[in-house]
Structure 1
Amino acid sequence: MRIASFTLDGSPRWGVADGDRVLAAPASMPSLKRALREHGVDVLRQAVEPYPTTAVTLLTPVPDADKILCVGLNYLDHIAETGRETPTHPVVFARFADSLVGNHASLIAPRESVSFDFEGELAVVIGRTGRRIAAERAHNYILGYSILNDGSIRDFQKQTHQYTPGKNFDASGAFGPVIVTPDEIGELAGHRITTTLNDDVVQQSDLGQLCFDVPELIARISTWTTLRPGDVIATGTPGGIGAARDPQLWMFPGDRIEVSIDGIGTLSNPVVEDDDQIAV
């Protein structure tokens, strides 16, 4: 099953993607997150109202996510290129929901920096509430998998030992296009993750190369916070980031960045200039 959030006639909805159509859930439950929390995963069966895909505009899969928890330094090749030691605990930081856009929406290159970097990642969306979840039971709490581009403003990220500013510029990252349920994916090992910038491959790895795999991440994170339906865990990026290259490679207006994962699809976004005129 492929689950999407979108706008239909200007209103937020969610449903199930089915080829060239979407099966929308009732308009009375416009939020996937709230529907899952109030009715459980069986609510997915209520997505039965068909519309052509051309009638909808994709949003991020969970536009109103309460928690977007991102894991750093979780591929061996990425750890090596940063010169850091292999972590003994997952490096976790938070992104805000409004820092992310959906498939085909524009990423904004902020005017305050030219160090706009890409990070293709596997995202895990939680489907059941749990705390202190054992790794061997973690699969019971996964709604599905998606793709996240953890776009990073590197100079702001490195201003202090806290990552928050560099990871949360408006529309600096992307999430989507859909959530794919585990039964369609199977074992993650062997699935490729590839990032391309203007059709040039800049990152490529295998989801089996995670230092902390998905069950371990769920177990570790749920030790200190309750995971609830609609929460998102971004599992880290492979090697090849722009900041680690010589010369360094950044995203600029006019570029297109795409992240693909076997079995899920491709998250594609143009990069545009920051024309926000809001001032205080």
Structure 2
Amino acid sequence: MNYASFTAADGSPTWGVIIDAQAYDLGPTGLNLAPTLRAAVEQGIFGALGEEFRTAPVRPEADIEFLPAITDPGKVICIGVNYRSHQNETGNAAHQKEQKAPTIFTRFADSQMGHLQPALMPATTNEFDYEGEMALVIGKQAWHVAEDEAFDYVAGYSAYNDFSVRDWQLATTQWTPGKNFPGTGGFGPYLVPAADLGDVTKLTLETRVNGDVRQKASVADLYFTIPQLIAYITGFTPLSPGDVIVTGTPGGVGRFMTPSGLLNEGDVVEVEITGLGVLRNTVVPSA
């Protein structure tokens, strides 16, 4: 079942499920099962619906405005250089073979946008790039989680586009500035329960720019696996329901293409992951 955050007919934020291109409002303007999708995860509603959703107010999916799948995560933790193909294109493969822990940076929740919302290219850069990724959402309090128990803490999965402002990212060894401009964290369109997907290592991630395939990889190609990521992250910070881990991007980013594949105004970027739908954002200059 596809869950999503979106705006109600009156423009206020809500959430619900999307079935057969129809959006059922389960939030404050509908059945009011929980105030947000994050709260639904915390309360155990997410992934546990019966047929009661069919009594909710409904609108065509084409009429809703998508919000980030989780609009109010307490933490968004991103993993850098975590596909072997991306390690190779960055020239870091030899170093990565000896790396004992994942590269981690954070993204602020207010830098995110939803499906079909513009990706805002800052006026201060000519180095705007895409990074198609798979995100996971934590389903329960997680602290010092063992690898063999890690999947028990995952509520669901979604597509993510970690749009990157490369000159700001690479100005120092700390990447945070280049990863937190407004309107650069595409998240959605749907959040799909983990139980609906089965073995996520069998999923395929594909990123397209104006229809041209730039990235394509199996989730099985992650260098640090999902259990390893959860175990490591919860070794230094507790995670709460609704927190997000963005697991890394494959090779094929624009910066390392010849000629350059960096983004321009009007480019349409799509991230498609098996079973998670297509996240689509168009590049627009930031005001």
Which TM-score bucket, shorter chain as reference? over 0.9
Bigger shift: 250-259 or 18-27?
A: 18-27
Q: Secondary structure at the match of 1:57?
A: coil
Residue 157 of structure 2: which of 145, 168, 171 is its match? 145
**Structure 1 position 186 matched with structure 2 position 198:** yes
Instruction: Map 1:162-201; keep pairs closer than 5 Å.
Output: 162-201=174-213
**Structure 1 position 58 matched with structure 2 position 66:** yes
- Which letter maps to 1:82? T
CA deviation digits over 1:151-183, x for unaligned, max 9?
000010011111010001111231100111122
How far, CA to CA, are the matches of 2:180 and 2:107 in structure 1?
6
Counterpart of 1:260 in structure 2 is: 272
How far, CA to CA, are the matches of 1:207 and 1:3 in structure 2?
21
How far, CA to CA, are the matches of 1:160 and 1:238 in structure 2?
23
How far, CA to CA, are the matches of 1:3 and 1:226 in structure 2?
25
Counterpart of 2:81 in structure 1 is: 73
Counterpart of 1:102 in structure 2 is: 114
Residue 90 of structure 2: which of 82, 85, 89 is its match? 82
Cα distance, 1:22 vs structure 2? 2.3
CA deviation digits over 1:105-129, x for unaligned, max 9?
1011110001001100000011111
Q: Secondary structure at the match of 1:178?
A: coil
Q: Secondary structure at the match of 2:190?
A: strand
Contact 1:7 1:58 in 2 (8 A): yes
How far, CA to CA, are the matches of 2:136 and 2:165 in structure 1?
23
CA deviation digits over 1:92-144, x for unaligned, max 9?
10001121110001011110001001100000011111101111111111110
Structure 1 residues 54 and 240, CA, compared in 2 at 3 Å: closer, same or farther? closer
- Which letter maps to 1:67? K
Cα distance, 1:25 vs structure 2? 1.8
Counterpart of 1:40 in structure 2 is: 44
Identity of aligned residues (%): 40
Instruction: Map 1:93-242; keep pairs closer than 5 Å.
Output: 93-242=105-254
Cα distance, 1:33 vs structure 2? 1.6
How far, CA to CA, are the matches of 1:123 and 1:222 in structure 2?
16
How far, CA to CA, are the matches of 1:226 and 1:23 in structure 2?
33
Cα distance, 1:228 vs structure 2? 0.7
Cα distance, 1:243 vs structure 2? 1.2
CA deviation digits over 1:204-239, x for unaligned, max 9?
111110011111111111111111111000000000
Counterpart of 1:30 in structure 2 is: 35
How far, CA to CA, are the matches of 1:200 and 1:40 in structure 2?
40
The TM-score with structure 1 as length reference comes to 0.93
Contact 1:41 1:127 in 2 (8 A): no
Contact 1:202 1:241 in 2 (8 A): yes
Cα distance, 1:24 vs structure 2? 2.2
- Which letter maps to 1:36? V
How far, CA to CA, are the matches of 1:43 and 1:262 in structure 2?
18
CA deviation digits over 1:25-64, x for unaligned, max 9?
2415322223433x23468537551412244221111111
Aligned CA RMSD, in angstroms, stands at 1.6
Q: Secondary structure at the match of 1:80?
A: helix
How far, CA to CA, are the matches of 1:112 and 1:218 in structure 2?
35
How far, CA to CA, are the matches of 2:262 and 2:2 in structure 1?
32
Q: Secondary structure at the match of 1:34?
A: helix
Q: Secondary structure at the match of 2:202?
A: coil
Counterpart of 2:22 in structure 1 is: 21
Structure 1 residues 200 and 256, CA, compared in 2 at 3 Å: closer, same or farther? same
Cα distance, 1:147 vs structure 2? 0.6
Structure 1 residues 55 and 255, CA, compared in 2 at 3 Å: closer, same or farther? closer
Contact 1:119 1:152 in 2 (8 A): yes
Contact 1:120 1:194 in 2 (8 A): yes
Cα distance, 1:247 vs structure 2? 2.4
Contact 1:35 1:43 in 2 (8 A): no
Structure 1 residues 42 and 200, CA, compared in 2 at 3 Å: closer, same or farther? closer
Structure 1, gaps ≥5 residues long: none
